[in-house]
Chain A
Amino acid sequence: MKKKENLLEEKIMPVADKIANNRYLIAIRDGFMLAMPLLIIGAISLLIEELPIPGYGDFMSGIFGKHWGDFFLVPYHASMAIMSIFVIIGISHSLTNHYKQDGLNTAVISLVSFFVLTPFVTNFTPEGSKAVYQVDSVIPMEWIGSKGLFVGMVSAILATEIMRFVSNKGWVIKMPEGVPPTVAKAFSALIPGTITIFSFGIIRLIFAYTPFGTIHNCIFNVLQLPLVSLGDSLGAVIIANFFIGLFWMFGIAGGDVVQSVMTPIWLALSADNLLAFGKGEALPHIITQQFNSIYLWLGGGGATLGLCLALLLVCKSQQCKRIGKLSILPGLFNINEPIIFGLPVVLNPILLIPFICTPLILAVITYCTMAAGLVPAPNGVIIPWTTPPIIGGFLVSGIRGAILQAVEIVISFLIYLPFIKAQDKKYCEQEKLYENNKE
């Protein structure tokens, strides 16, 4: 067994290492991390406007007038609805820091490069008319929200790379000595910035000659839409969560590794749902970021809150009881490292099966109840992954979401029960042996 574990560890560590240390994936992760608080603020303000309580809207308009909701809609439009902008700044800033160059300068150039690719027109249909008018001189909200995410990620990385390439070639305006350094710095960005922005101008021209018209149309239809629809399937969720479990079995933060690939897709799905939710339309997707973080990772990766309860309520060995006490409070906030490293789950052949299978079983259950319409799909509101169960479910799917989470905790408890009992028995024997030896 030991040998097999080593072999697997040798195979799995390089994969985690490659994914987690890839500079582009790190930059994308950092970009989303910068945007995350803004996305949460924007999504929560939309949630306040659309709170899933009957009669709430009428009640509020009664007090504050018909337009009370605008107070909360505006922050949503100013944050979540223009998320691509923050993601671009964050990605470019992180990547530039990695190259040890001036981050803010490059981040601004990246944003400009993205705007070069973005058509400053939008389509407008007046009420009651069928004709579509093109309105000039606007930045289209359509392409700077979640629909522009992939073009944004590509622009940020490409612009940063061109800036670095040109700067490294030494093609910068050099000031004679005696010129104040700040002045020199302002000039040194001129040539790399110009070359970068003009390169993007050429990209824009090339796409103008394709049937797509803009790179936005092309990347959204050719890359983002297929990837996102692929991510919006039960199969993809099961595969992603299988790997999360597998990585954790080796003590590697699996959620982090897998999310550095899946976050753009899952967040785009969330944003789609949130847009529909804000308009009061039917939610287009079941799978979203919250489908995973709220319904599958109850208590942390492996849905260990049920295991935590089993440790506290059923187990008799000191080891299990201690870990149970240590892990219940963090567990309520979906943090489970004490269980993973303390129990431990890591490289534990007894707990391997329930740890990997529980989230997969919960995925099937959640998907089926939502597909059948028993529980509303997640509304796309982005809440921190540390939001305690029951509260989290209520915020993303209303009262039925909270009930589903409660049921899932019971199910995960029952799945873990026979396995943790076996483990507990082993620990009890060990502890007895230890006591006897001491005497």
Chain B
Amino acid sequence: MKRILLFCSAGMSTSLLVTKMQNAAKAMEMDVSIDAFPEAEMASHLDDADVVLLGPQIRFALGRAKKLCSEKNIPVDVINSMDYGMMDGEKVLKTALKMMENQNREDHP
């Protein structure tokens, strides 16, 4: 099962988006686990993650996140701010899936 992790300052507003993404995943009949955590706890959650997304309000943390994630070959990016604002679960889910696909291609050329 693929695991998508979302991070924002307290894991509060991203957890809103998580529910929307889970609904989108259900509609697409996909088996993924999606969770949200505070950005401060990032290091301790990365072990079984397949993709990491940051809320746009903490995009300044991207550098630190990249450092942590690159050690484990996990793709990481900031969520598009309009998708985030509209809480568009489907679009964000698709972005996450695409990021995983691209990563796989890099891992197995």
Identify which of B40, B60, B81 contacts A16 (C-beta below 8 A): B60
**Contact flag A344-B82 (CB < 8 Å), given A13-B60, A17-B63:** yes
Q: Are A251 and B38 in contact (CB under 8 A)?
A: no
Q: For residue A322, which residues in chain B have a CB less than 8 angstroms away from its CB?
A: 86
**Contact flag A21-B60 (CB < 8 Å), given A97-B43, A342-B85, A343-B85:** yes
Q: Are B57 and A340 in contact (CB under 8 A)?
A: yes
Interface residues of A, CB < 8 Å — how many? 33
**Contact flag A344-B58 (CB < 8 Å), given A26-B40, A330-B16:** no
Chain B interface main SS type: helix
Within 8 A of A (CB), among B34-51: 38, 40, 43
Q: Are A256 and B64 in contact (CB under 8 A)?
A: no
Q: Are B81 and A17 in contact (CB under 8 A)?
A: no
CB of A30 within 8 A of chain B? yes
CB of A41 within 8 A of chain B? no
Q: For residue A251, which residues in chain B have a CB less than 8 angstroms away from its CB?
A: 56-57, 59, 81
CB of B9 within 8 A of chain A? yes
CB B35 to nearest CB in A, in angstroms, measures 17
CB of B24 within 8 A of chain A? no
Q: For residue B64, which residues in chain A have a CB less than 8 angstroms away from its CB?
A: 21
Closest to A330 in B: B16
Q: Are A338 and B58 in contact (CB under 8 A)?
A: no
Identify which of B40, B43, B63, B87 contacts A29 (C-beta below 8 A): B40
CB B21 to nearest CB in A, in angstroms, measures 15
Identify which of A21, A30, A33 contacts B63 (C-beta below 8 A): A21
Q: Are B59 and A252 in contact (CB under 8 A)?
A: yes
CB of B13 within 8 A of chain A? yes
Closest to B64 in A: A21
CB of B30 within 8 A of chain A? no
Identify which of B40, B43, B55, B60 contacts A337 (C-beta below 8 A): B55
4 tightest Cβ-Cβ pairs between the two chains A and B: A342-B85, A341-B85, A337-B13, A253-B57
